[in-house]
Chains A and B, each alone.
Chain A
Amino acid sequence: MTDIRYLAPGTLDEAVNAFAAAAGAARILAGGTDLLVQMRAGVVRPGVIVDIKKIAEMTTIEETPEGGFRIGAAVSGARLAEHPRFGKAWPGVLEAVNLIGSKQVQGRASPGGNLCNASPAGDSVPAMIAAGAVVTVQGPHGRRQMPVEAVPAGPGRTNLTPGEILVSFTLPPRPAGSGDAYLRMIPRTEMDIAVVGCGVSLTLEGGKVTAARVGLGAVAPTPLLVGPAAEALIGSRLEEEALAAAAAACSAACRPIDDKRGTIAYRTKVAGVLLRRTAAIAAERAGRA
Chain B
Amino acid sequence: MSRVTLRVNGEERSLELDPRTTLLDALREQLQLTGSKKGCDHGQCGACTVMVEGRRIYSCLTLAVMHDGEAVTTIEGLGRPDALHPMQAAFVKHDGYQCGYCTPGQICASVATLQEIEAGIPSHVTADLTAAPQLTAEEIRERMSGNICRCGAYSNIVEAITEVAGRPA
Q: Could you tell me the distance between the alpha carbons of A99 and B142 in the complex, rounded to whole angstroms? A: 11
- Asked if residues A32 and B130 are in contact (CB atoms below 8 Å), the reply is no
Given A32-B62, A37-B43, A191-B145, CB of A103 within 8 Å of CB of B119: no
- Asked if residues B145 and A102 are in contact (CB atoms below 8 Å), the reply is yes
- Asked if residues A105 and B58 are in contact (CB atoms below 8 Å), the reply is yes
- Mark out the residues of chain A between 24 and 38 whose CB falls within 8 Å of any chain B CB in the assembled complex: 29, 32-33, 36-37
Q: Quick check: is A157 within 8 A (CB to CB) of the other chain?
A: no
Contact stretch, chosen from B26-34, B108-116, B154-162? B108-116
Contact stretch, chosen from B8-16, B49-57, B74-82, B90-98? B49-57
Contact stretch, chosen from A1-9, A158-166, A228-236? A1-9
State how many residues of chain B have any CB contact under 8 Å with chain A.
38
Closest to B1 in A: A3
Contact stretch, chosen from A86-94, A110-118, A209-217? A86-94
Q: Quick check: is A135 within 8 A (CB to CB) of the other chain?
A: no
Closest to B57 in A: A107
**Which residue in B2, B22, B123 is a CB contact (below 8 Å) of A103?**
B123
CB distance from B1 to the nearest CB of A (A): 10
Q: Quick check: is B46 within 8 A (CB to CB) of the other chain?
A: yes
Q: Quick check: is A49 within 8 A (CB to CB) of the other chain?
A: yes
Q: Quick check: is A239 within 8 A (CB to CB) of the other chain?
A: no
- Asked if residues A94 and B143 are in contact (CB atoms below 8 Å), the reply is no
- Mark out the residues of chain B between 57 and 77 whose CB falls within 8 Å of any chain A CB in the assembled complex: 57-58, 61-63, 65-66, 68
- Asked if residues A6 and B43 are in contact (CB atoms below 8 Å), the reply is no
Closest to A100 in B: B124
CB distance from B87 to the nearest CB of A (A): 16
- Asked if residues B145 and A81 are in contact (CB atoms below 8 Å), the reply is no
List residues of chain A with CB within 8 A of the CB of B57.
Answer: 104, 107-108
- Asked if residues B61 and A105 are in contact (CB atoms below 8 Å), the reply is yes
Q: Quick check: is A66 within 8 A (CB to CB) of the other chain?
A: no
- Asked if residues B65 and A33 are in contact (CB atoms below 8 Å), the reply is no
Interface residues on A, range: 20 to 34
Q: Could you tell me the distance between the alpha carbons of A53 and B52 in the complex, rounded to whole angstroms? A: 14
- Asked if residues A49 and B19 are in contact (CB atoms below 8 Å), the reply is yes
- Asked if residues A6 and B2 are in contact (CB atoms below 8 Å), the reply is yes
List residues of chain B with CB within 8 A of the CB of A95.
Answer: 124, 129
Given A105-B58, A108-B61, CB of A1 within 8 Å of CB of B112: no
Q: Mark B119-150 against chain A: 1 for CB-CB distance below 8 A, else 0.
A: 10111100001100000000000110111000
Closest to A79 in B: B55
Given A37-B43, A95-B124, CB of A108 within 8 Å of CB of B62: yes
List residues of chain B with CB within 8 A of the CB of A87.
Answer: 122, 129
- Asked if residues B55 and A107 are in contact (CB atoms below 8 Å), the reply is yes
Q: Which of A6, A40, A78 counts the most chain B CB atoms within 10 A?
A: A6
Given A32-B62, A37-B43, A108-B57, CB of A103 within 8 Å of CB of B116: yes
Q: Quick check: is A149 within 8 A (CB to CB) of the other chain?
A: no
Q: Could you tell me the distance between the alpha carbons of A88 and B57 in the complex, rounded to whole angstroms? A: 25
Q: Quick check: is A259 within 8 A (CB to CB) of the other chain?
A: no
- Asked if residues A104 and B66 are in contact (CB atoms below 8 Å), the reply is no
List residues of chain B with CB within 8 A of the CB of A99.
Answer: 124
Q: Quick check: is B18 within 8 A (CB to CB) of the other chain?
A: yes
17 A-B residue pairs with CB within 8 Å? A1-B18, A1-B20, A4-B18, A5-B19, A8-B68, A29-B66, A51-B65, A82-B121, A95-B124, A95-B129, A98-B123, A103-B109, A103-B146, A105-B43, A108-B57, A108-B61, A191-B44
Interface of A with B (CB < 8 Å)? 1, 4-6, 8, 29, 32-33, 36-37, 39-40, 49, 51, 53, 78, 81-82, 87-88, 91, 94-95, 98-99, 101-105, 107-108, 190-191
In the A-B complex, list the 7 residue pairs whose CB atoms are closest, starting with the nearest.
A102-B146, A6-B19, A107-B57, A190-B145, A91-B129, A98-B124, A104-B146
